[in-house]
């Protein structure tokens, strides 16, 4: 009796070329995960961005400083960012101190807790991607960001 070895290959799927749609799908998938976690902590995505900006600032921030910084990141309406800042003050996650706002201990704890909860999820999402692929993606995304920011500035 003669047997022949059969070879089977797994179907291959070509990776999609990076474009605005692929970038958007990745962003919204990752943001959906983060928003799910943040909801359990009683804050929104934009609240987390403003709070993190206050926590990571090198120097005390005025409300205008935070609005400018967050607007540069989210491209959101300044009035919406100011409303978010007011929400964080009302929740006592930020506190006004003269002309500046500072994160409270509760704000720092909430950010640390949400970060600890998302860390293993992020590790599963990003884990196993080769370093050279991450470096290439980082270069492409930095260039896309730079170009998009320039186009947005030209529009305004």
Is 44 part of any domain? yes
**Total domains present in the chain:** 1
pLDDT along the chain (156 residues), means of 10: 48 77 94 96 97 95 96 95 98 96 97 97 96 95 95 93
Which segments of 25-156 are extended strands (E)?
Answer: 94-97, 100-103
Q: What pLDDT, on the 0 to 100 scale, is given for residue 3?
A: 47
Q: What pLDDT, on the 0 to 100 scale, is given for residue 15?
A: 80
Q: What is the CATH number of the domain that holds 109?
A: 1.10.10.10
Is 60 part of any domain? yes
What are the counts of helices (DSSP H) followed by strands (DSSP E) for the chain? Answer: 6, 2
Q: What pLDDT, on the 0 to 100 scale, is given for residue 5?
A: 47
Is 62 part of any domain? yes
Q: What pLDDT, on the 0 to 100 scale, is given for residue 128?
A: 96
Q: What pLDDT, on the 0 to 100 scale, is given for residue 72?
A: 92
Residues 6+ apart with CB under 8 A from 48: 34, 38, 111, 114
Residue span of the structural domain in which 97 resides: 22-126
Is 119 part of any domain? yes
Is 87 part of any domain? yes
Distances from the Cα of 93 to the Cαs of 12, 16, 86, 109, 119, in angstroms? Answer: 49, 41, 10, 9, 22
Is 7 part of any domain? no
Is 68 part of any domain? yes
User: What are the φ and ψ backbone dihedral angles of 73, each rounded to 5 degrees?
Assistant: -85, -50
Is 77 part of any domain? yes
C-beta separation of 82 from 88 below 8 A: no
Report long-range pairs for 66-75 (Cβ below 8 Å, ≥24 apart): 66/101, 70/46, 73/49, 74/46, 74/49, 75/152
């Amino acid at each position: 009796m003669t047997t022949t070895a059969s070879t089977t290959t797994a179907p291959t799927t070509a990776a999609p070329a990076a474009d605005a749609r692929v970038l958007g799908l990745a962003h919204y998938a990752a943001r959906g995960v983060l928003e799910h976690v943040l909801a359990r902590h009683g804050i929104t995505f934009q609240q987390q961005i403003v709070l993190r900006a206050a926590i990571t600032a090198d120097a005390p921030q005025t409300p205008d400083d935070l609005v400018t910084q967050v607007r540069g990141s989210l491209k959101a309406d300044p009035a919406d960012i100011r409303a978010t800042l007011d929400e964080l003050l009302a929740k006592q996650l930020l506190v006004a101190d003269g002309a500046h706002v500072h994160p409270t201990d509760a704000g720092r704890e909430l950010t640390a807790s949400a970060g600890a909860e998302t860390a293993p999820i992020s590790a599963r999402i990003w884990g196993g991607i080769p370093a050279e692929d991450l470096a290439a993606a980082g270069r492409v995304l930095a260039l896309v960001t730079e170009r998009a920011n320039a186009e947005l500035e030209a529009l305004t």
